[in-house]
């Protein structure tokens, strides 16, 4: 969880003195092991260091070399392969920091160097001879770079807090993106954020800035099937699946300084990480602290506690629970905006689990997020998708297997696993409108009518792309690929848990090797013997608890009492909104009365439509508070 920042001027002026110092201080929670800056006239760079891996002890950034100046936030997983290609001796590599390996790669391949890297990384390299800057972000965007291309300068930083500390970086609302967020559109414009003229560099891309100030973003990678995995037999996929996942986990652990933690749900994705990582950390005399968000033991609602308990006794695992008390994600929102500059608050579950990981002595926390759309693909009505493709014999075989596995009746299997795959979205949409008393989706968002009308008329938002109890757009494989692309381009990455100082986040299922394997998996391995996640169940059958191998369909929520928390927080949120409802920054976008009605009518855990309505309402309330905060902070 190191951080980088910098400013380059291309108008003949020098960077303001100590400007980059202010940027690094805004991200000092990422610099437990040192903060360093360099000012070289029209270039200034900063680096906040947190030592996670052994070679980080040798980091001394910014690197000022004869031909380049470099800052990077990175973990390279192909150090050994790069060393062979670049002619770095084993004795030199042992404690050579990743930043020096990156510099050698840049000297070899120039602006194409990112294509040859494997791991989580974000970097900035200044070519001293040409006066050009290269920014790069890893394949799936696990490290982050935000930037602003202004009048005569470019500023960049890992976090928005660092970027907004720089001189002349504006803080204005991007109304197109605000409309997409408020109306719950599934559309996104790559690189755009809720702030106007502030961009995030998409994963798998580099940005080249010339000495005259021309910026070009180029894609060096996108989610795709690696041809080496195409057309293989089942034995190959089982073996390759296991070895690839195990290596993606191992390479994140083998050079750690401190024992790691895991955001744990007891499901297939985090469960596979736990089963694979446990023996590795146990060999070093450590334990993997697995922290799960659960309900109190006497609470009858479904949660992850039983699934997590099934792992008790496995090698190297230390199981711990977080049970939410009175705290909510919406507490002290304005302080959250001050720290993160994000329009939605960080998850209280992730914040508290992060704190528990730090108490356990971890500087790295792993997360199973991503498996559902990379290599353990899962979606609704995958059985129906087989019928939709016309594979009648396979459908009949799997239908019977589904009944045996679940114990469900034929009627229930058809209703849950088949019908929705056959119903076109042009029929599902009016049905959802009917369920919601024939009000169109945009009228159930708490958005002002004139702002919504502008968003539709301008083309910023399509009325056919609004979430409404189901997700419009592609299904199954196309949706998984879309999810990979969207996550890769997103601005969250390791910042998703940035409220916890001195804690790095990594997601093994976002490893590019896993993505390229997942995209190549044949459909026959995704749903088989009546079971989704057949590949995971089969490849790791000897490591995972028997209860997980037999697990019925469905996932446990990351926050099992999310609805209860929203109901608890709603009155205070509405009261706070009343205090600023006349603020122009809110009145232009938010229909306060409609939003209040959404909250009042969304308190039933039994009715799906009311749960969805309350979720939408709380997001809109948080955004309204953000708009008021932004307006005040800009005065």
pLDDT in tens, 532-570: 999 999 999 999 999 999 999 888 888 898 888 988 998
pLDDT at 134: 98
* pLDDT > 90 fraction of the chain, expressed in percent and rounded: 73
Residues of the chain with CATH 3.40.50.620: 227-376+485-549
pLDDT score of 436? 63
Other C-beta atoms lying within 10 Å of the C-beta of residue 232: 14
Closest C-alpha to 574, from 446, 398, 423, 413 = 446
**Edge to edge, what strands does the sheet with 364-367 contain?**
317-322, 288-293, 261-263, 364-367, 504-506
Report the SS3 class of residue 254: coil
User: Residue 525: its pLDDT value, please?
Assistant: 95
| Low-confidence residues of the chain: pLDDT under 70 | 428-429, 431-438, 469-473, 493-499, 601-611
- For 526, the 3-state DSSP assignment is coil
Angle (CA) 181 185 187, round 5°: 100
Question: In this predicted model, what pLDDT tens digit does every residue of 62-115 receive, in sequence order?
Answer: 999 999 999 999 999 999 999 999 999 988 898 899 999 999 999 999 999 999
Nearest to 597 by CA among 585, 614, 611, 619: 614
Contact 314, 379 (CB under 8 A): no
- What count of Cα atoms within 13 Å lies in the side-chain half-sphere of residue 111? 17
Q: How far apart are CA 190 and CA 630, in angstroms?
A: 23
* Class of domain 3-219 as given by CATH: alpha beta
3-state secondary structure string across 99-119 = HHHHHHHHHHHHHHHHHHCCE
> Integer distance in angstroms from the first to the last C-alpha of the chain?
32
Q: Are 280 and 316 in contact (CB under 8 A)?
A: yes
Tokens describing residue 346: 């960080």
Check residue 399 and give its pLDDT. Answer: 96
Q: Which residues contact 174 (CB under 8 A, 6 or more apart)?
A: 192, 193, 194, 195, 196, 197, 198
Structure tokens at 439: 């009000």
For residues 145 and 137, the answer to whether their CB atoms sit within 8 Å is: yes
pLDDT, residue 435, reads: 62
Query: Which token pair is 177?
Result: 């993106």
Segments of the chain assigned to CATH 3.60.20.10 = 3-219
Spell 429-455 as b/e; 16+ CB within 10 A means b.
beebbeebeeeebbebbbbbeebbeeb
What 3-state DSSP class applies to 75? strand
Nearest to 495 by CA among 269, 115, 193, 96: 193
pLDDT of residue 33: 95
Q: Which residue has the tokens 């679940």?
A: 406
Contacts of 374 (CB under 8 A, 6+ apart): 480, 484, 509, 510, 514, 515, 518
Measured distance CA(172)–CA(585) in Å, rounded: 11
Four-point Cα dihedral 18, 58, 119, 103, nearest 10: 70
d(C-alpha 567, C-alpha 408), whole Å: 34
Sign (positive/negative) of CA torsion 341, 512, 304, 601?
positive
Class of the domain covering 227-376+485-549: alpha beta
pTM over 0.85? The answer is yes
The helix or strand, by DSSP H or E, that contains position 632, with its residue range, turns out to be helix 608-633
């Amino acid at each position: 969880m190191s951080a980088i920042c910098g400013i380059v001027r291309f108008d003949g002026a020098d960077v303001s003195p100590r400007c980059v110092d202010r940027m690094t201080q805004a991200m000092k929670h990422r610099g437990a092991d040192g903060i360093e800056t360099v000012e070289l006239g029209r270039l200034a760079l900063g680096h906040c260091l947190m030592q996670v891996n052994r070679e980080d002890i040798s980091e001394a950034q910014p690197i000022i070399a004869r031909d380049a100046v470099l800052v990077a936030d990175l973990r390279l997983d192909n150090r050994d392969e790069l060393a062979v290609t670049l002619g770095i001796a084993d004795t030199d590599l042992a404690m050579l920091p990743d930043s020096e390996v990156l510099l050698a790669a840049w000297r070899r391949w120039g602006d194409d160097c990112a294509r040859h890297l494997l791991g989580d990384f974000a970097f900035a390299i200044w070519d001293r001879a040409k006066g050009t800057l290269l920014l790069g972000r890893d394949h799936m965007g696990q490290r982050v770079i935000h930037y602003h291309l202004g009048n005569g300068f470019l500023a960049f930083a890992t976090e928005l807090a660092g970027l907004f500390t720089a001189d002349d970086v504006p803080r204005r609302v991007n109304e197109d993106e605000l409309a997409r967020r408020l109306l719950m559109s599934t559309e996104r414009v790559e690189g755009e954020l809720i702030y106007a003229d502030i961009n995030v560099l998409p994963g798998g891309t580099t940005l080249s800035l010339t000495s005259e100030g021309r910026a070009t973003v180029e894609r060096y990678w996108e989610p795709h099937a690696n041809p080496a995995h195409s057309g293989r037999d089942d034995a190959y996929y089982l073996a390759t699946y296991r070895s690839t996942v195990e290596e993606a986990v191992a390479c994140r652990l083998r050079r750690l300084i401190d024992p790691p933690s895991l955001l744990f749900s007891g499901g297939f994705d985090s469960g596979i990480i736990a089963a694979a990582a446990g023996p590795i950390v146990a060999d070093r005399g450590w334990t993997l602290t697995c922290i799960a968000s659960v309900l109190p033991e006497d609470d009858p609602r479904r949660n992850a506690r039983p699934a997590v308990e099934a792992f008790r006794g496995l090698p190297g695992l230390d199981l711990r629970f977080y049970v939410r008390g009175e705290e909510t994600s919406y507490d002290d929102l304005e302080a959250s905006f001050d720290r993160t500059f994000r329009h939605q608050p960080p998850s209280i579950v992730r914040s508290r689990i992060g704190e528990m990981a730090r108490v356990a002595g971890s500087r790295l926390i792993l997360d199973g997020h991503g498996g559902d759309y990379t290599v353990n693909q899962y979606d609704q009505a995958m059985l129906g998708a087989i019928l939709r493709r016309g594979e009648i014999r396979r459908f009949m075989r799997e239908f019977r297997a589904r009944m045996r596995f679940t114990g469900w009746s034929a009627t229930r299997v058809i209703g849950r696993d088949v019908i929705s795959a056959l119903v076109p979205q042009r029929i599902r949409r009016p049905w959802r409108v009917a369920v919601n008393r024939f009000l169109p989706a945009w009228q159930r968002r708490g958005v002002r009518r004139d702002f919504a009308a502008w968003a539709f008329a301008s083309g910023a938002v399509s009325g056919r792309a609004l979430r409404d109890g189901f997700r419009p757009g592609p299904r199954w494989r196309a949706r998984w690929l879309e999810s990979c692309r969207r996550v890769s381009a997103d601005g969250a990455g390791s910042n998703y848990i940035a409220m916890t100082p001195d804690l790095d986040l990594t997601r093994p299922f976002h490893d590019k090797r896993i993505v390229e394997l997942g995209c190549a998996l044949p459909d026959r391995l995704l749903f088989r013997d009546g079971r989704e996640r057949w590949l995971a169940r089969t490849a790791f059958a000897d490591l995972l608890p028997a209860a997980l191998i037999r697990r019925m369909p469905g996932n446990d929520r990351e926050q099992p009492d999310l609805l209860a928390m929203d109901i608890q927080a709603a009155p205070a949120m509405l009261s706070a909104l009343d205090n600023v409802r006349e603020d122009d920054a809110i009145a232009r976008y938010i229909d306060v009365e409609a939003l209040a009605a959404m909250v009042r009518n969304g308190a039933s855990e039994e009715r799906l439509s009311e749960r969805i309505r309350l979720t939408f309402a709380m997001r809109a309330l948080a955004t309204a508070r953000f708009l008021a905060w932004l307006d005040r902070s800009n005065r």
